[in-house]
A and B are shown apart, each in its own frame.
Chain A
């Protein structure tokens, strides 16, 4: 086996001085719901009125957040229903200007939002600064421009707003998911009740401040914080016209079943176990970077994480060596350090879930490679990036979504085998393929059953680019012209 590109050489010892983000962000001791443009205290029993949100890197409580009761949800939905007739009747160009305004305010407060996001979610500041926040602003900017152009989006049909939208978002991209949900809904003339994830409510509440500052009419956007019970109340509320959910496939199926007897419109963006295929004729340096990005981005807590790697047999050893080498140099630690590559896992529950799979893999016969030896802080939820080899398709680590920085490496011989194994999953969210041969890449891209296929790249996102799954990864698209469809009825 040729030894190339220093893949087997000892990595030089780089010692990085700490480079902490110094911007201080004020966090109030306590946050209420945002209903009808008012900060509204929860109405539930006193003992259950507020819950803590933690910094997962320190396990320290950041703030208390209102726990949405049935009555709180009802108040928010009523506010949205009341605001609907005037919002949808607003001249579309005016609606657009409100949304443009939100985009600008998000840009203006970008640094504050990035720090807050990393503090509440554990993600590295370089990701929140360079991806989450700028993409959130871009989503508002993109969709603002659609507000007065909807008649051109669906040839031969007249679009009308769906109505009151219940939007339930996950903890992995708290602000960005809020933007993905709110921006198209508002542009299409709907009013919204947003429920952020239990562990990451702070940036959505900060976005509510921005929306208040942007002078949106009362009730157009409402934010109710809480846990799964709050989400269930929102899903089951009779005056909700549409539910948009991003989260696990299990919960998505429950929502689909719970709304089976109702006329509510539904879009689901669910889990994944996305395949990543490297052919022997790929540009290997780029492919390795792509695989690293694909699984360790946001601690692997990404629905489209490339968590199953299929490597053509002739280059398997080389790829494994390079992955180990590259993984050694990933810096795990303080999310607010600008040099950090992998931050804190979002919660204790999630860390336990990841650890369960790290124990399961070897028990089923796979080999765990933990090349990374970053020094970890004493407190907080941490998982050093790692991967499994010797993985069989039947192993749970090859079948179930782990939602952590854990990659399963497998091999294949022929393109047909790669396709068959890549598609052998109930999921179908994303896929990646690496080869320098153009005709091959399009053939593979066509045959992969996934809603997003990244060719010679991975984890690219854009407001103009539709995102969403095949099969049990959900239905409906977010972003682009296709994303509007979820928020419009076509007459």
Chain B
């Protein structure tokens, strides 16, 4: 009896709720030694622009969704991830020693999947709470109702580090979308495959099209275009080389983008990463005054 040939998966990007290849037709190889794991899409500048357009289009409705609904959708995505544990762990598993894709994550694959799911659950819970922690009523010296509320900044780019390929991506995305922003994420260059599987969980988890878009490709190539894009309102990145961070900030100055680059993150530290202070950089504080008088 011949051994059954495994059906290999095609890994694609996630834009506007669909799974396209790069419009450029480009790809890059991911190999474990001699074995081909996948041809990952090599996103172009045009792909980035398409993704930003999808994110902009989705923004108003997502921002207007009730916090309860956003929380439930994030929770649903976590449920979907739970069902993909094995696939994700396999995609995160290191290739045979001395060969192929380097992972560079201190976490074991199954621990990374667990932490990623738990992170989504934590942020699902924040959806209808962060506004109470970050907002407030202000005791102005006069007959006014005066309060400050957080509102989403808009379209946020998330630039994931090479590792941990899944947990860092989820940790950069979740605080962005929980508050009503829409997101264009660039996956780990070293191992983008878990991001592609995560995108499938998002699609089947009822995340509306365009709320999250995931590109795979070359960070060095796309970063200048992210920095320059006038319709990107903020950037959430981690572990960028100083030169890349400077390039990003210089480009961001053109339209006063809000840029957060995190250094030395312990991704498994829940106290650090499950925090309203990770949501805060991607909200704008609006202060509303109204006189109280007859």
Chain A interface (Cβ within 8 Å of chain B)?
138, 154-157, 249, 252-254, 256-257, 259-261, 268, 270, 426, 428, 441, 445-446, 450-457, 460, 462, 464-468, 470-475, 477, 480-482, 485, 490
Q: With A253-B254, A426-B255 known to touch, is A452 a contact of B249 (CB < 8 Å)?
A: no
Asked if residues A466 and B256 are in contact (CB atoms below 8 Å), the reply is: no
Q: With A256-B249, A261-B242 known to touch, is A465 a contact of B289 (CB < 8 Å)?
A: yes
Given the complex, which residues of B lie within 8 Å of A260, measured CB to CB? Answer: 246-250, 252-253
Number of A-B pairs, beta carbon distance below 8 Å: 115
Asked if residues B285 and A477 are in contact (CB atoms below 8 Å), the reply is: yes
The SS class assigned to the A binding surface is mixed
Asked if residues A156 and B138 are in contact (CB atoms below 8 Å), the reply is: no
Asked if residues B256 and A156 are in contact (CB atoms below 8 Å), the reply is: no
Chain B interface (Cβ within 8 Å of chain A)?
133, 136, 138-142, 144, 146, 148, 151, 233, 242, 246-250, 252-256, 258, 271, 275-277, 280, 284-291
Q: Which of A155, A253, A261 lies in contact with B246, CB distance below 8 A?
A: A261
Asked if residues A470 and B289 are in contact (CB atoms below 8 Å), the reply is: no
A96 and B151 CA atoms in complex are apart in Å by 32
Q: With A154-B277, A157-B277 known to touch, is A452 a contact of B289 (CB < 8 Å)?
A: yes
Asked if residues B287 and A453 are in contact (CB atoms below 8 Å), the reply is: yes
Q: List 8 A-B contacts (CB under 8 A).
A: A156-B271, A252-B256, A259-B249, A446-B151, A453-B289, A455-B289, A462-B138, A466-B287
In the complex, the 9 A-B pairs of residues with the closest C-beta atoms, listed nearest first: A256-B253, A260-B249, A261-B246, A260-B250, A462-B140, A257-B253, A455-B290, A465-B138, A472-B256
Asked if residues B258 and A475 are in contact (CB atoms below 8 Å), the reply is: yes
Asked if residues A457 and B289 are in contact (CB atoms below 8 Å), the reply is: yes
Given the complex, which residues of B lie within 8 Å of A472, measured CB to CB? Answer: 255-256
Asked if residues B291 and A480 are in contact (CB atoms below 8 Å), the reply is: no
The SS class assigned to the B binding surface is mixed
Asked if residues A465 and B287 are in contact (CB atoms below 8 Å), the reply is: yes
Q: Which of A157, A455, A485, A490 lies in contact with B288, CB distance below 8 A?
A: A455
Q: With A154-B277, A451-B285 known to touch, is A268 a contact of B256 (CB < 8 Å)?
A: yes
Q: With A460-B140, A480-B136 known to touch, is A156 a contact of B277 (CB < 8 Å)?
A: yes
Given the complex, which residues of B lie within 8 Å of A428, measured CB to CB? Answer: 284
Closest residue of A by beta carbon distance from B234: A475
Closest residue of B by beta carbon distance from A266: B249
Asked if residues B133 and A481 are in contact (CB atoms below 8 Å), the reply is: no
Asked if residues B141 and A138 are in contact (CB atoms below 8 Å), the reply is: yes
**Distance between B93 CB and nearest chain A CB, rounded to angstroms:** 34
Q: Which of B144, B250, B256, B271 lies in contact with A457, CB distance below 8 A?
A: B144
Given the complex, which residues of B lie within 8 Å of A256, measured CB to CB? Answer: 249, 252-253, 256
5 additional A-B pairs beyond A452-B288, A453-B287, A454-B289, beta carbons within 8 Å, are A446-B151, A455-B290, A464-B138, A465-B140, A467-B287
A355 and B253 CA atoms in complex are apart in Å by 30
Asked if residues A452 and B287 are in contact (CB atoms below 8 Å), the reply is: yes
Q: Which of A460, A468, A480 lies in contact with B144, CB distance below 8 A?
A: A460
Asked if residues A451 and B286 are in contact (CB atoms below 8 Å), the reply is: yes
Asked if residues B254 and A466 are in contact (CB atoms below 8 Å), the reply is: no
Q: Which of B140, B247, B289 has the most CB atoms of chain A within a 10 A radius of its CB?
A: B289
**Distance between A258 CB and nearest chain B CB, rounded to angstroms:** 8
Q: Which of A261, A455, A480 lies in contact with B138, CB distance below 8 A?
A: A480
Closest residue of A by beta carbon distance from B248: A260
Given the complex, which residues of B lie within 8 Å of A157, measured CB to CB? Answer: 275, 277
**Distance between A279 CB and nearest chain B CB, rounded to angstroms:** 15
**Distance between A11 CB and nearest chain B CB, rounded to angstroms:** 27
A452 and B255 CA atoms in complex are apart in Å by 20
Q: Which of B133, B249, B286 has the most CB atoms of chain A within a 10 A radius of its CB?
A: B286
Given the complex, which residues of B lie within 8 Å of A464, measured CB to CB? Answer: 138-141, 146
Asked if residues A457 and B290 are in contact (CB atoms below 8 Å), the reply is: yes
Closest residue of B by beta carbon distance from A430: B287
Given the complex, which residues of A lie within 8 Å of B271, measured CB to CB? Answer: 156
Closest residue of B by beta carbon distance from A426: B255
A467 and B148 CA atoms in complex are apart in Å by 10
Closest residue of B by beta carbon distance from A490: B277
Q: With A156-B275, A464-B140 known to touch, is A453 a contact of B288 (CB < 8 Å)?
A: yes
Q: With A451-B286, A455-B289 known to touch, is A466 a contact of B148 (CB < 8 Å)?
A: yes
A464 and B287 CA atoms in complex are apart in Å by 11
Q: Which of A261, A454, A481 lies in contact with B249, CB distance below 8 A?
A: A261
Given the complex, which residues of A lie within 8 Å of B146, measured CB to CB? Answer: 460, 462, 464-465
Given the complex, which residues of A lie within 8 Å of B275, measured CB to CB? Answer: 156-157
A446 and B131 CA atoms in complex are apart in Å by 14
**Distance between B149 CB and nearest chain A CB, rounded to angstroms:** 9
A218 and B133 CA atoms in complex are apart in Å by 38
Asked if residues A468 and B285 are in contact (CB atoms below 8 Å), the reply is: yes
Q: Which of A155, A249, A451, A456 lies in contact with B287, CB distance below 8 A?
A: A451
**Distance between A109 CB and nearest chain B CB, rounded to angstroms:** 21
**Distance between A257 CB and nearest chain B CB, rounded to angstroms:** 4
Given the complex, which residues of A lie within 8 Å of B252, measured CB to CB? Answer: 256, 260
**Distance between A37 CB and nearest chain B CB, rounded to angstroms:** 32
**Distance between A388 CB and nearest chain B CB, rounded to angstroms:** 27
Q: Which of B140, B148, B271, B280 has the most CB atoms of chain A within a 10 A radius of its CB?
A: B148
Given the complex, which residues of B lie within 8 Å of A451, measured CB to CB? Answer: 284-287
Asked if residues A474 and B256 are in contact (CB atoms below 8 Å), the reply is: yes
Given the complex, which residues of B lie within 8 Å of A426, measured CB to CB? Answer: 255
